[in-house]
Chain A
Amino acid sequence: MAEITGIYTASHTPVMLNFPDRIPAALREEIFAAYRAMGDDFMAGKPDALIVLSNDHLHNFFLDNFPAFCFGCAESYESPIEHWLHAKRRTFAGDQAFGAYLLQNALQSDFDPAFSMEMVLDHGSLTPLELAGIDPDLPIVPILINCVQPPMPTMRRSYDLGRYLGKAIADYAGVERVAILATGGISHDIATPRMGMVNEEFDQTFLSLMEGDDIDATIRYATDFVHTAGNGCEEIRMWMAAMGAANGAKYHRTYYRAVNDWYTGIGIGRFEV
């Protein structure tokens, strides 16, 4: 039966890699140090496998066939897919058996995700893993939620997906120690007129709710106010899923800063599992 060693949430943005110099060096170092601290904490839990909750940014999926949820069931994952991303190419090991277990069990539990046996991960998965310094040989199972093209699954359904994952992981005998990294958000706009206008008030309220103990209020706030915090904020669906997997465990932020010149409210935190 697998133990969850840590559940982390962290923002991602390609700007960190593509335009690092748009912010002062001291701030950049502070942010990169916060990701490294998350990575150190993560590795201290000695996980044997990692569930990456992220989203595809219209690279693997297009509007001809767009899954609401997609479970990765591949032996390995190349990254990045973006020809324009300033990142060195790498290959992540996949935990195919774990992915297949989560998929089959999901369908048995009346969740109906799509699955993929070949995905090239984009910056959404790569950036936080890279900045956190997480070993690429640690086998991963990517679980992608549509946050980039309406219509999208609800915040509540994303939370329920996480609840399912938390239970299914606990019942899995194939690995002993599992970490979860949920990436995306918080407030940001991608290629909209509000790009670069981070809604810090949303982020602060959202983080405070995450740190409180009213899960319904957190889901309600995410649902009712995400429209004030940018299309990139739709990625807090992954935070909802992390909260579901945490099953009531306490959350605390380890870093937050509204970084307008990187267009993103950068938040990092973990659940006390």
Chain B
Amino acid sequence: MANWQEMMPSTRAYMMNKVLYELHHKPDHLEAYNDDADAYLARFALPQDLADCIKGNDVAQMYLSGVNPYLLRAHCIGVKIPEDVSLAALRSLLNHEGYNNG
């Protein structure tokens, strides 16, 4: 049992964190993302799988990628993923072998 997926963030997690952070703190970023998610995400040169899980609102995969949970939480609320949907996606990982690295 652990509280965290990564005890030191990986570069992959850092890259995803940066997207979620800027999206909800920089003026006009959320609007740009909502207008054209692909164009917005292309600014960050993310690995494709990370861009895909952000664009697809794949909360479980974002969690497993080591994203900071507070940024993930703010993102779920900020892009209006329904509360019960994000909760169910996270809960589905409870017995996943990759959850907090076992």
- A233 and B2 alpha carbons, distance in the complex (Å): 12
A195 at the interface (CB under 8 A from B): yes
B77 at the interface (CB under 8 A from A): yes
In the complex, are the beta carbons of B78 and A150 less than 8 A apart?
no
In the complex, are the beta carbons of B93 and A233 less than 8 A apart?
no
- At the interface, is chain B mostly helix, strand, loop or mixed? helix
In the complex, are the beta carbons of A191 and B94 less than 8 A apart?
no
- A227 and B21 alpha carbons, distance in the complex (Å): 25
Q: Which among B21, B86, B100 is the interface contact of A58 at CB below 8 angstroms?
A: B21
In the complex, are the beta carbons of B14 and A151 less than 8 A apart?
no
Nearest chain-B residue to A148 (Cβ)? B70
A200 at the interface (CB under 8 A from B): no
Given contacts A58-B68, A148-B68, A150-B8, contact A233 B25 (CB under 8 A): no
Interface digits, A47-73 against B, CB 8 Å rule (1 contact, 0 not)? 000000000011100110000000000
Residues of B close to A63: CB separation below 8 A: 9, 14, 17-18, 68
Residues of A close to B17: CB separation below 8 A: 58, 62-63
CB contacts under 8 Å to A, within B77-98, are: 77-78, 83, 86-87, 90-94, 96
A37 at the interface (CB under 8 A from B): no
In the complex, are the beta carbons of A59 and B25 less than 8 A apart?
yes
> Distance in Å from the Cβ of B36 to the closest Cβ of chain A?
20
B48 at the interface (CB under 8 A from A): no
In the A-B complex, the 9 residue pairs with the smallest Cβ-Cβ separation, listed nearest first, are A191-B69, A191-B73, A193-B93, A231-B3, A191-B72, A193-B94, A84-B77, A57-B70, A150-B7
19 A-B Cβ contacts within 8 A? A57-B70, A58-B71, A62-B17, A63-B17, A83-B24, A84-B78, A149-B68, A150-B6, A189-B69, A191-B69, A191-B76, A192-B3, A193-B92, A193-B96, A195-B90, A195-B91, A228-B1, A231-B69, A233-B3
A residues lining the B interface (CB < 8 Å): 18-19, 57-59, 62-63, 81-84, 148-151, 189-196, 226-228, 230-231, 233-234
B residues lining the A interface (CB < 8 Å): 1-4, 6-9, 14, 17-18, 21, 24-25, 30, 59, 63, 68-74, 76-78, 83, 86-87, 90-94, 96, 99-100
